[in-house]
């Protein structure tokens, strides 16, 4: 399984990467939405994207919309992993095509549970 972690915080991105590797994912990373689109163009579709909301250049919501608008990537499960707690933001992301939403801070168990809901790991 391949995952793309998109987060401008190097520490948070590294923590998510470590948790995913423990679940046997191959992980690539991007620091913002524009960089994530470049990674997808270079590497092709991944099995899941974990996307922060607040990032420079292109935020997570804008990235989500770009991914859902591109036929090559429409089927990629996207999990918003963010401290954005405004219910309107959560609703907007889900309406735009986010498959799951994980609030920061979170545990490895919470990440595992969300990945299981997506059918990417065993429950």
In a domain? residue 107: yes
Residue 15 clears pLDDT 90, i.e. is over it: yes
CA distance 14 to 3: 13
The pLDDT assigned to 87 comes to 80
Question: Backbone phi, then psi, for 106, in 5-degree steps?
Answer: -140, 165
Write out pLDDT tens, residues 61-118: 999 999 999 999 999 999 999 887 778 888 889 999 999 999 988 999 999 999 999 9
In a domain? residue 123: no
Domain count of the chain?
1
Average pLDDT value over all residues in the chain = 94
In a domain? residue 7: yes
CA distance 104 to 28: 20
Q: Which residues pair with 101 in a beta bridge?
A: 80
Structural domain boundaries enclosing 23: 2-117
In a domain? residue 56: yes
Residue 123 clears pLDDT 90, i.e. is over it: no
The pLDDT assigned to 86 comes to 75
């Amino acid at each position: 399984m391949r995952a793309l972690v998109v987060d401008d915080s190097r520490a948070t991105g590294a923590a998510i990467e470590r948790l995913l590797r423990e679940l046997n994912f191959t992980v690539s990373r991007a620091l913002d939405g524009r960089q994530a689109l470049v990674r997808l163009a270079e590497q092709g579709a991944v099995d899941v994207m974990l996307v922060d909301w607040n990032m420079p250049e292109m935020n997570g919501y804008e990235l989500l919309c770009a991914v859902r608008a591109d036929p090559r990537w429409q089927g990629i499960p996207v999990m918003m992993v963010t401290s954005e707690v405004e219910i309107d933001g959560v609703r907007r992301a889900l309406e735009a095509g986010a498959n799951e939403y994980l609030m920061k801070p979170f545990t490895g168990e919470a990440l595992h549970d969300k990945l299981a809901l997506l059918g990417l790991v065993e429950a």
